Structures are given as C-alpha cells and as structure tokens.
A and B are shown apart, each in its own frame.
Chain A
Amino acid sequence: MDTFNTLLLGFISVVLVNNLVLTKFLGICPFLGVSGRIDMALGMGLAVTFVVTLSGTLTWLIDHLLLIGTPLEVTRYVCFILVIAGAVQLVEMYLRKFFPSLYDSFGIFLPLITTNCAILGLCLFINLWEVDSLLDAVVRSFGAGIGFTMAICIMAGIRENLNLADVPGCLKGAPITLITAGLLTLAFMGFAGMIR
C-alpha cells in the first residue's frame, strides 16, 4: 500500500536519517544529564516518546485547523508552546491519578520535558516538512520519540562503560560525553541519503 510505504519511510527517516538528537541537535540537555544509567535513560526516553507523540499530533491539528492561511499564523510559536505545556500538565495529572506505578517510574521527568527543545523542535520540524496527513504526523512524532530513546539508551550504555575507563581529569563528565556523541553522530551519518 502506498500510504503504508510513505508512513514507513517517514518513520525510518525520523528515527535514523534525521534523528532529532544526533542530526538536529535537539534534546541535548536531557541527553547529557540523564544518560548516566540505562534504566533512567529508558524512563526518560519513554516519557519523551509519550509526550512528543501527543504534542506532535495536537500541534499539527491546531496548525492545520486554526493557523495556516489565517492571520493568526503569526502566533504559531505561542500556541505551540502553550499546547505543549498544557499537554504535559494534563499527562502528569492523569498519570499521577490513574497510573501511580507508571508515574513513579517516569513521572519525575515530565516537568523537565516541557522545556525540552526536542518537543517544540519536532512540532516546528513537522510544520517545516509540510506534513500533509494526520497519520503521517502521528507516525513521525512517534518516530522522533523512538529515535530519541534509542540515542539516549545507546549513550547510556556507552557512558556506563566510560565511567570505568581512564578519562583525563578535565574531560570527565560533559566533555567526554559530547565527544562520544560526536562519534555517534558520525556513525549515524551513514544513514543519510537512505530515504528520498
């Protein structure tokens, strides 16, 4: 099916080729901060995936139903960020009330996520890529979350080993993480041009 093909390509494009963290430089703050251990990284990644899928869909809807072509278009950034902040708030309240165990495992990350560049960045990129259908927007948002989770877990795995390695004093912590991230980016560059 042609639609399925487009969706699959869109998904792979966001996860591998245009990975938000490694090619678009989004979500670096949590990437550096939380990727110490794999279980925390996974929790953060899942929280981000959840929020980003929701936000991507909502902002696409608002964009296409309210904003594009109308004079309100100039308020796009304000609308997006308010929607994202609201969505995160709602998700947090909902989780705390109905799924307390889930809230315990990744709820603490949720307030951090609001100012995460990855969410707003993805909503803006979806707008930039001129995504036409709601389903495509949902798939790409989900893909972005998965890509982020993947990058952060790979990073966590490497960092757990880095802690045991002999890193020079001044490079410990953020510097060596950044250098490692750079090498990861180099590896992911191999995927570029895969999708046309």
Chain B
Amino acid sequence: MFKIKFFFQQSWLLIVASFFFGLLIAVANAAWQGKILQNEEDKFNNLAGEMLPEAASFETALEEVEVDLGKGKQKAITIKKAVADDGRCVGWAFKCEGSGFADKIKLVLAVDAGFEKLKGFGVLASNETPGFGDQIKLPFYRNQFIGAPAEKLVLSKTGDSEKVDSEIVAISGATISSEAVVHIVNTFLPQIKNQIQTKGLVGNDG
C-alpha cells in the first residue's frame, strides 16, 4: 500500500503530463489529419492531371491490386481512371515505386485510355543526388516516356532521345537513377495492364 502511494507521489506529474500531452496531440491530429490526407491526394492529382490534361477527375477503378515486386515482395496499389467532363475515360493513372540510387523512388505513371501508350511519369518522392539523379524530374528525361508503347522499356546509354519508342536513353552521370525509373515501369506496367485487361475495363469506352 505504501509502495503504491510512494509510486504515485513520485510520478503523479508524469502521469498527468502524459494525459495532457496525449490530449494535445490527439486534438492537433484530429484538426489536421484531413488536410494531411488531402495534401497526398492533391499531389497525386496534380501530377496525374499534368500528364492527362483532359481529365476532370480521377475515380478509383481498382483497389488493392497486388503487384509482385520480385524477391517475394508484393505491393498493393490503387488504379485510378481519369474521367473527362462528359464521363468518358481519357486514361489511367497509378502510383508505383522502387528503389533508386539513394532511397525509394515513388512515381505516378499515366497511360492512355486504351492502355496502348504511356502518357508519361511524374515523381512523387525521391531522394536522388541533386544535379545528377535528380534530373529524372526534368522534362528532357520525362518526355522520352510520353508516347512510348505501354510495354517493357529498354534503357540504353546512347541513342536518340527524341525518337518515340521503347528505348529510353539514360541520363549521363545518373545511370542508376535512370535505370531505376525504367525498372519501376517494367515491374508495374505489364502486371497492371494484365489486371486491367482481365477485368475487362479497357476498350469499353474512349
């Protein structure tokens, strides 16, 4: 009995403080959680909207699609359908990720309505070396993906970066980062294409 009293005498401030701070954090969280989630959505929508300008909104087409990343790892992603004002499908967009030179690279990949050609990619998050790997965000690299066929791409060190085909020219001084982007596309694109086609979502409009 005395031990418990002693315990409380020593630590009552700790207990009270814990409650107080817990409450404070809970209030802050409740107040701002909506905004935080909205920021994530906005980021995705902005990038996808940039690549699919006719889209008025993005609807969720398929949720929890399992993508096999190799080495026994899996990732569940959501495929979004880009819908124009008149309700017609103008493309598809989804998040994908993989390991880059430094840490993970997270991308948004946009494909045209028939899943035939890529509409490009946007970088959601990356920690690549500024001035080198960071250049994957620049137009001259991203433009190579626009119009490329929606199948496995090949990275090469030299070549014509203006030519629109499945060959992607790596950024000089940033081979690993360029490779990482191509690898991510090659991992996710065929599997997503497969899922979309087996579910019969492609080809029913636009």
A: residues with CB less than 8 A from B are 2, 6, 71, 74-75, 78, 128-129, 132, 192-193, 196
Shortest distance in angstroms between B184's beta carbon and chain A's nearest beta carbon?
12
Interface centre among A71, A192, A193 (most CB of B within 10 A): A193
Q: DSSP majority for the A interface?
A: helix
Q: Would A2 and B72 be within 8 Å (CB), given that A193-B176, A196-B99 are in contact?
A: yes
Interface size on B, residues (CB 8 A): 15
- Chain B residues within 8 Å of A, Cβ to Cβ: 21-22, 25-26, 29, 71-73, 99, 101-104, 176, 180
Contacts A74-B25, A75-B22 known; A2 to B99 CB distance under 8 Å? no
Q: In the complex, which residues of chain B have a beta carbon less than 8 angstroms from the beta carbon of A78? A: 21, 25
Q: Nearest Cβ in chain B — how far from A165, in angstroms?
A: 32
Question: A119 to chain B: closest CB distance in Å?
Answer: 20
Q: Are B25 and A2 in contact (CB under 8 A)?
A: no
A74 pairs with B71, CB closer than 8 A? no
- Find chain B residues with CB under 8 A from A6 CB: 71
List 7 A-B pairs, minimum CB-CB distance, nearest first: A74-B29, A193-B176, A193-B101, A74-B25, A196-B99, A75-B25, A192-B101
B71 CB contacts on chain A under 8 angstroms? 2, 6
- Cβ–Cβ contact A74 & B26, under 8 A: yes
A193–B174 alpha-carbon span in the complex (Å): 11
Looking across the interface, which residue of chain A has its beta carbon closest to that of B18? A78
Residues of A within 8 A of B25 (CB): 74-75, 78
